[in-house]
Every structure is written in structure tokens, then in C-alpha cells.
Structure 1
Amino acid sequence: MHRFVHILFFSLLLAVSGFAQKPSGVWDVFATGAKGDGKTMDTKAIQIAIDRCHAAGGGKVYLHNGTFLSGTIYLKSNVTLYVEAGAILLGSADVNDYPSTASKYPAYGGELVTEKMLIYAEEAHHIAITGRGIIDGRGDDFNGPYLSPSFSGRPRILHFRNCDNIQVRDITLRNSGSWVQFYQSCRNMVIDGITVDSRENKDIEKPRHADAKGRNTDGMDLVDCQLVRVSNCFINSGDDAICLKSLSPTESCRDITITNCIVSSNASGIKIGTETSGAFEDITVQNCTVFDTRVDAISIMTVDGARIERVTIANISVRNVKGTAIFVRLGARNRTYRKNAQATAGMLKDVLIENVQGTRIGGYGCSITGIPGFPVENITLKQIRLRFDGSNIPLRSDDDTRKTAPIEPPVVNPMVPEKTDAYPRGEMFGRLPAYGFYIRHGRNVALENLSLDYAGEENRSAIVAEDVDALQIRDLKAKASPKVPELVQLKNVRNSPNMPKSN
């Protein structure tokens, strides 16, 4: 019996020693020189463990029982970076510990370089970041301009580029210096059960940058990625919470599902668009909650020539959104992100939004808009129940200088500007002439079983439609304003049987 215990103890001793690294498949960073004291730089020790794990054919690099201070580390194929519960991977506070990295692939502005991140992977496959521990980007220690995070000296936490078979599970990502996680041109991804806590101005009732400068801390950016499953995540971010983007006219975001997520944001909650060069196809978002969000709860937009089609958004709960609940936009900003690229005309069609409930929604009004000659097409909203603040509540908006202040309720201007080339966001038109939905430049737009209500006072119609071909409104239940004679206003609405006569 004593001999058996001795042999068992000796085997366990070997398992945690450097001699047993290869057969165990686990590379303990303490065995490669890490101190885990939160003061000593452990970048080299972590990288050695990753390199040895990769060279041996793969396995797990294990961080446990400590705080591991690090600059940029490079994740490689077949390596899982595992941060155990109680352990912290802590980013360095020195920007020089995050070197610029040459790349085969163009960055945001088209340059073949990648700027400043804590964990980077390029052309890697079967990589993972897992565990119940924390990765802390130490964003509070970095200063830089609000815009252009790629070149501002504010590191991201994760940046994966042109990688396959990625898993990010259970980890907590907090306090990033810039975009929290940026996945570009990646395929076959699973992001499940993670927590993002990177919101530099946490009080939604204060102006956006009341307590600290903004840092573009998007919770999750999926850029030209395909075959992606995002589920069971909680994201509290200083900028857009979950955002799909495209930077290349020859690439696309395609075959993406987002489900069972809870998000809160100082910008938009669930967003398809802004940077929109390529295509967005076959995207499903369902069973999510958006709360305490400053701009839009749900937004779908193309403004740089992208084609968006076959998007389904269902079963979304919305609470305390200062901007608007639903924003659908086709514009023509025509920004390019690749050298010598040219933007083409965009397209936005085949969108289904259903089973959305929301309350405490700002007084801008939701909108579904194209531009002259380029209508949004085949847009269906079903089972929508929204309660808005009303037009007697001051709006809260960000102006172009990124300063935020409440503004008094203006007189509603019935002539809504086109703003064809403007940055897209639900606040872009100011207070719309409809408290519920404003629809312009559309074709085959259907609103079915909508319930619209407001608190306080309201001096607008529930729905206003202009220049729409084939509009259907069925089973509308909307609170009327005593100050407006028409619940629904139609202007140049065509081919719409059983609708009120257009003005």
C-alpha cells in the first residue's frame, strides 16, 4: 500500500514537471519561467509555452494560481490558452510591450500591419481561449484619440486574422484599451459563455463620456467572418456590443448565428453594419436581451456599398434604450477600406424582425429608410410591442465632437433630411415625424401585429410612410396623439390595397 502511494505521488510530481510536458499535453507556464506575481513580465515564459506546445503538435497552455503580466503573445495552431478560475492574464501598462506586427492581410485602412493587441493570431487553425479566468486589457492605463483605434496606441485584447476553427469559451475579457475582440476573415468560430466587461462610462443616465474618454471598446467585432456561432454571452461595452462589419468588397459576413446573449452598451446593442464594404448574408439573431443602451438596440445598415440579405432577428427584449429600438438603413457614405477600392451601390433586402418587446425607448422614433433610387426591399416586422418615452422627454444624443448633452424637445420637422452620406445611427434624423416607425424609400414593406405606446405626451403620428411601394399594415394597435389627426400618415405610398388613401 505504501509503495502504491509512493508511486502515485511520484507520477503526480512528474505530471507537473517540465519532463512530463509532451505526454500530458499540458504546458504549465510556471515550468517555462512564469512568476505569476502580477509584477514580473511573463510574456517570454507564456510565449515559450505556446511555441513548445505548437511544436509538439498541440495541447493546452495552462495559466493558474497567479496574475500573469504580459505584452503581446502570439497564439499558434492547435494551441488552447487556458486561464484557470482565479487566474488573471494582465496586460502590460507600457504601450511599447505591444509591438506593431507585419501582416499578409490589410488592416482597417488597408495597411499590411497589425497594431497593438494582447493576444494575436494570424493564419492559425484549431486555436482556443478557454477557462473561467480573466483576461484584463488594462485599458484605463492608456490614452489616445477616440477614433482610429488601430493606430492610437490603445491595445485590443484579442485579434485573430484569417484563422480557422476557433473557440473562445467561458473566459472574462475586461477593461480593454480598444476593441475588445476583433475577428477578421475568420471561419468556423464558436464563441460561447464569455463575459465582456469593458465599459469606461458605466452610468447610462450620464452623458456618454462624463467620467472618462471613450476608447472604442466594442464588445465583439466580427469582420468578414463566416460560419460563426455566438451564444450565451454577457457583454457590457463602452461602444457597440456585438457588431458585424465588412472591410473588403470581395469578402463577406455569412452564415452567422447569435443567440441567448445579454448586452448593454454605450453605443448600439446588436448591430449589422457601419463598416459595410462586402456582403452580409444568412444571419440569424435570436433570444437576446438589450438593456441600458445609448444608441440603437437593433440596427441593420449598409452605407459603403455592401449587399445585405436574408437576415432574421427574433425574440428580442429591449429596455432603457436612449436612442431607438429598431433602425434599418441603406445609405451611400461610400467609404473604402482597401487600397484603390471603389464603393458600389448598396442593397438591403429580405429582412425579418419579429417578436420584439421594449420599454423606456427614447423619443427619436424607429426608422426603415433607403435613399432615392435605392429602396430597402422585402422588410417584414411582425409581433412588435414597443413603449416609447414620448416627445415631452428631452433627447440625449452625441454630436460630432463626441460630447453628449440633453437637448430640449424640438418642434418636429415634417421634412426629414435625406443625409445620404451621413454616419448611420438611429439618431441621425433627429426627432422623426412618427413616434413609432418612419418608413421612406422602400418596396414591399410589411408591418404585422404592431403594438405601439408612449409615456407622457406625444405630438406625432404612430407611423409615417413616404415613397413606399407595396406597404402593408395589418393588426395595428397604436396609441393616438390628441394633437395629431392621423394615426398613420401616408405620402406617395403606392400599390398598397386596403390602406388609407395616400396624401
Structure 2
Amino acid sequence: MKNWISVLIASLCLTAGILAQPASGVWDVFATGAKGDGKTMDTKAIQSAVDQCHQAGGGKVYLHNGTFLSGTIYLKSNVTLYVEAGATLLGSGNADHYPNTASTYPTYDGDYTSKALIYAEDAKNVTIDGRGTINGNGQVIDNRKLTDAYQYPSFQYRPRIIHLRGCENVHIKNITLTNSASWVQTYQQCKNMVIDGITVDSRENKDVEQTNREHAVKHRNTDGLDIVDCELVRISNCYINSGDDGICLKSFSPDKACRDITITNCVVSSAANAIKIGTETAGRFEDITVQNCVVYDTWGEGIAIMTADGASIQRVHISNISLRNIKRQAIFIRLSRRNKKFGTHTTTNSPVLKDITIQNIKGYRLSPLGCSITSLADYPLENIVLRNLDLEFEGGVTDLDPSQEVPDKPDAYPVGGMFGKYLPAYGFFVRHVKNLTLDQVQLRFVKDDHRPALVCDDVTELEISGFKAQSASGGTSLIRLADCHQTTISGVRHAGIPFLALSGAQAGEVLLRHTRLNETAQKYLLESPAHTKLILEQ
């Protein structure tokens, strides 16, 4: 009997050892002490599995058949954190369970958190995978502390769900991320990343028709996906419904870059901007492609490209995007000089924004605010191409003063409503651009709108081809050009209100080729008789 008991005990010990360090490379967190009951803190058990997996050379840490309550988990090299379908990794509602992690990497500013449910720094071959759910438990943390009369919770104690810094060969796949207390996931100075097939649901107020967005009240600021100074990034097949910006590229370091990035086959709905470069823009953004995406029910901008803090943005290609129900600007491109600094950085670069192509865009139920492409006189945008756009705006603006000046606002926070409730054009307002092409652009409105479809101010090398835009009786002109140079307009048909308004002491020649304006009673509105000589018809 004693021998039999000894054999049994030895067998049990051997079995426990296999579960703790299996030859298969899978570390089951139940074997390291996890309860998975959603009540017991499983942080130590999960961390133990991660540490053992890492020390053994790598493998999979396996969460299954339960709800695992946890504080910060420190992911390490060669470890896959796998959350099985039906399982949930649940963040603790106690902010003290998420230590602030000291780091040399610059943060957003002094009051933004370094807390996270899953954190890694300078790790390699890191993976988060599985068809399960990671729930940040944000609403519990959100109600824990309030800092002022407006009841804005402090950024300092609100953890992200995922925060990776300086990591290489990162895979985030298939997982569902929900209910974050802050930015859902942030990847900073990471290299060679694949984010594929994930679902993000961080939006409390899913009704975009409500003017009160959730973070305007509680200020959770739950960006869906933030890429900060990362290189070689592939984002694909994701669904993101975010409480703030959806997919957002940022730069905190003037000597770093967001570079070699593709975003494809994603569906995004946002309480702020859907697909965005900015607002934090210290370094460079180069060679970025966004294609085959759907953006809908978005409170802010549909597509936003901006440099505010000295960034150079070059070679950005956006194509095959469907926009529906966008409450601010459908397309927003902006260069400004806010010049915010991050971390210990003390310098800013000179901003550049050029070589941008936006093509094959369909837009429906777009805000009457319109779209804008604007810069500053000393830093003109360069080489902007808008091709094959078909946009329908809500329109309905009939009382806007056409002589109203639009301020430059060089250091203002760049946002779609920065120039006022409405822009001077129902379609596109463009200012301080060199080499702008509008090719096969179609603009229309649902309700009569008296604004021009296109207003250009200080645009050099302007080429408009195949432009089709709706107009309403009572409007001033279809197109208005102020101080524009080297303008060519071709392949345009128009009848009704005046086709072109020309103004500005610095205005240059306008060449019209193959245009049909015979049914227009008054073709042109000219600020002075001298402008008559600037119209050249072929």
C-alpha cells in the first residue's frame, strides 16, 4: 500500500510539473493557480505562467473556460497570450492594481497614464491572440475618482488595455477589446507589427445622433488604436467602434517616424475622427497606405491628415473608402504650428505636408460643414491630388456671408470646426496649397445650399478636370478663386448661377479648356475689370 501511495504521489507531482512546463509549449494558467471565477485576482497566476513561458524560451500562455480578473500583466519576449473563445481577461476595477511603469519613452504629457492591463517594453516576438475577450472594466475605474466640478477622471489613473513600447515582431490577432478606461491600445516605437482581425468596442454612446459624446462628459478618451512612431505596420480586417479617435497615427519624438504602414479592409465608427494622422505630430509620417475601408456614424472627421507639432508628412495614399453619416468634415487636411513637445524633447521641426493622394471615395450624409485643405502662407501644402470623389453633403446653408474672412489660426488645435460652424464652400475650402489636382470630383447636396462648391484661396498650380457640382438658384458662384495662380479648368459643363468668381490683387490667369457654359447667363463674377484679361477660353 505504501508503495502504491508513493507511486500515486509521484505520478501527481509529475502531472503537475507537466502542466506547469508542458513539452507542448502551452502554459495553462489554471496550472499556475488561476481561479477564472471573475472574483479572485488572478494576476500572480497569469504572470507566473508568462514568466515560466519566457524563461523556457517561449510558447503560449493559455486562458480558457473562465473570467480571469487581473491587474497589470507584463508580457515578455517569445510569449503568446492566448485568450480562448468564451474566455475573458477582465481588468481590475481598482486603479492601484495597475502600477505606473517608468520608461524612457516619451509620453503624451504629464498627466497621461503609463498604466495598462497588458504592458511590454523592448520585447521581441510578442503575440496576443484568440477569439476571446479582453475587458478593461473601464466604467468601474471611471467612477472611482473624480477631479473637478465637471467630473473628469484624471488621466493619471486610467489604464489602457494594451500598451507596448519598443517591441519588435508584434502580432495582435482575432481578439476582442472592449470597455477600456483610456486609449484601448497603444504601440510606441514598435517595429514589424501585424494587427489583424481584431474587434474593438470602446464606445459607450453608440448613438451618433446624440450631441453629447461619452468622453465629453466622462473624458475617458477611448481611442480604438494608436500607432506612435512605429515602422513596418500592417493593420487589416479590423472592426473598430471607438469612444474617441478610431485608427490614429501619432508621433511623440521629433527624431522618430511612423513609416511603412498599411491599413486595409477595416470598418470604423468613431465618436471623434475615424482614420487620422495626428494630432500629436512631432516626427515624420512617410509611406502610408489606407485602402478598402468603410467609415460610418462618425462624430468627428472621416479622414483627417494633419501636422501640428512640426511633423513632415509625405507619400500618403488613401483610396477606396466609403463614408456615411459623418458629423464634421468628411476630409480634413491641415498644417498648423501648435508645436507641442512631448517627454524631454525641447525642439520642433519645420512642418511639411505634401504628396497626398485621396481617390475613389464615396460619401453619403456628409455634414453641411464641408471639407477643408488648409495650411499657412509660409508652409504651403504641396502635391495634393483628389481623384474620383463622389460626395453628397446635407447642405442647407443659405445665409452665410460670402465676404466673411476665414482666420488662419496658426497655433489652434486642428479640428474640423476650427474655422466656424460652416466653411465658405459646401464642398471644399482650400487655402495655401501648391500643385492641387481635382480630377473627376462630383459634389452635391440634399438641401439647397448657396455656398460655392469649391473655394480656393492662394492656390498655385491648380488643375480642375471633369468637375461636376450641384448649384442652387440664389448662390453666388459654383467656384470661387482668390489670389490663385496658374489655374487650368477643363472638361466642365455648367448651367445656372455664375460658374466662376475671381478675386484678389495677386490673381493669375485662368485657362478654361473644353468647358460648356453656354446656358449660364453670367459666366463670371469678377472683382475688378482688370480680372477680365485673366480669363482665357479655349
String of CA shifts for 1:56-107, please: whole Å, max 9, x gaps: 0000000000000000000000000000000000000001100111223232
Q: Can you give the 5+ residue segments of structure 1 that lack an aligned partner in the other structure?
A: 1-12, 394-408
Which of the pair has the greater relative contact order for Cα pairs under 8 Å at 6+ separation? 1
- 2:438 corresponds, among 444, 447, 452, to 447
Q: Say whether residues 1:422 and 2:426 are aligned partners.
A: no
1:340 Cα offset (Å): 4.6
| 1:199-214 equivalent positions in 2, closer than 5 A | 199-209=203-213, 213-214=218-219
State the partner residue of 1:140.
139
1:152 Cα offset (Å): 2.8
Q: Say whether residues 1:196 and 2:195 are aligned partners.
A: no
State the partner residue of 1:404.
none
String of CA shifts for 1:136-178, please: whole Å, max 9, x gaps: 0011112356999984311100000000000000000000000
Larger Rg: 2
Q: Say whether residues 1:185 and 2:175 are aligned partners.
A: no
State the partner residue of 2:463.
472
State the partner residue of 2:525.
none
In the aligned structure 1, how far is the partner of 2:272 from the partner of 2:250?
15
| 1:354-503 equivalent positions in 2, closer than 5 A | 354-392=359-397, 414-430=404-420, 431-498=422-489, 502-503=502-503
State the partner residue of 2:179.
175
- Comparing 331-340 with 466-475, which one deviates more in the overlay? 331-340
State the partner residue of 2:246.
241
In the aligned structure 1, how far is the partner of 2:361 from the partner of 2:350?
30
The code of the aligned residue for 1:165 comes to: N
Q: Say whether residues 1:260 and 2:259 are aligned partners.
A: no
In the aligned structure 1, how far is the partner of 2:488 from the partner of 2:479?
15
String of CA shifts for 1:264-292, please: whole Å, max 9, x gaps: 00000000111000000000000000000
In the aligned structure 2, how far is the partner of 1:502 from the partner of 1:14?
88
Change (3 A) 1:49 1:413: farther
In the aligned structure 1, how far is the partner of 2:293 from the partner of 2:273?
14
The code of the aligned residue for 1:90 comes to: L
String of CA shifts for 1:230-287, please: whole Å, max 9, x gaps: 0000000000000000000000000000000000000000001110000000000000
Q: Say whether residues 1:215 and 2:220 are aligned partners.
A: yes
The code of the aligned residue for 1:285 comes to: V
State the partner residue of 1:32.
32
The code of the aligned residue for 1:278 comes to: G
RMSD of aligned residue pairs (Cα, Å):
2.2
SS of 2:30's equivalent? helix
State the partner residue of 2:45.
45
The code of the aligned residue for 2:123 comes to: A
In the aligned structure 1, how far is the partner of 2:16 from the partner of 2:295?
47
Change (3 A) 1:319 1:501: closer
SS of 2:162's equivalent? strand
Change (3 A) 1:265 1:176: same
Q: Is the 8 A contact 2:71 2:97 kept in 1?
A: yes
In the aligned structure 2, how far is the partner of 1:16 from the partner of 1:85?
26
The code of the aligned residue for 1:50 comes to: V
SS of 1:222's equivalent? strand
Q: Say whether residues 1:108 and 2:108 are aligned partners.
A: yes
1:184 Cα offset (Å): 0.3
SS of 2:46's equivalent? helix
Q: Can you give the 5+ residue segments of structure 2 that lack an aligned partner in the other structure?
A: 1-11, 491-499, 504-538
In the aligned structure 2, how far is the partner of 1:317 from the partner of 1:223?
26
State the partner residue of 1:276.
281
State percent identity of aligned pairs.
57
Change (3 A) 1:87 1:55: same
The code of the aligned residue for 1:216 comes to: N
Change (3 A) 1:498 1:116: closer
Q: Say whether residues 1:165 and 2:169 are aligned partners.
A: yes
1:411 Cα offset (Å): 5.3
State the partner residue of 2:68.
68
Change (3 A) 1:154 1:337: same
1:322 Cα offset (Å): 0.5
In the aligned structure 2, how far is the partner of 1:179 from the partner of 1:343?
25
SS of 2:453's equivalent? strand
The code of the aligned residue for 1:277 comes to: A
| 1:122-137 equivalent positions in 2, closer than 5 A | 122-137=121-136
Q: Is the 8 A contact 2:229 2:252 kept in 1?
A: yes
What is the total number of aligned residue pairs between the two structures?
Answer: 475
Q: Is the 8 A contact 1:260 1:288 kept in 2?
A: yes
State the partner residue of 2:327.
322
Q: Is the 8 A contact 2:383 2:435 kept in 1?
A: yes
1:14 Cα offset (Å): 10
The code of the aligned residue for 2:156 comes to: S
The code of the aligned residue for 2:125 comes to: H
Q: Is the 8 A contact 1:77 1:126 kept in 2?
A: yes
Q: Is the 8 A contact 2:314 2:356 kept in 1?
A: yes
The code of the aligned residue for 1:40 comes to: T
The code of the aligned residue for 1:303 comes to: A
The code of the aligned residue for 1:180 comes to: V
Q: Is the 8 A contact 1:272 1:301 kept in 2?
A: yes
State the partner residue of 2:299.
294
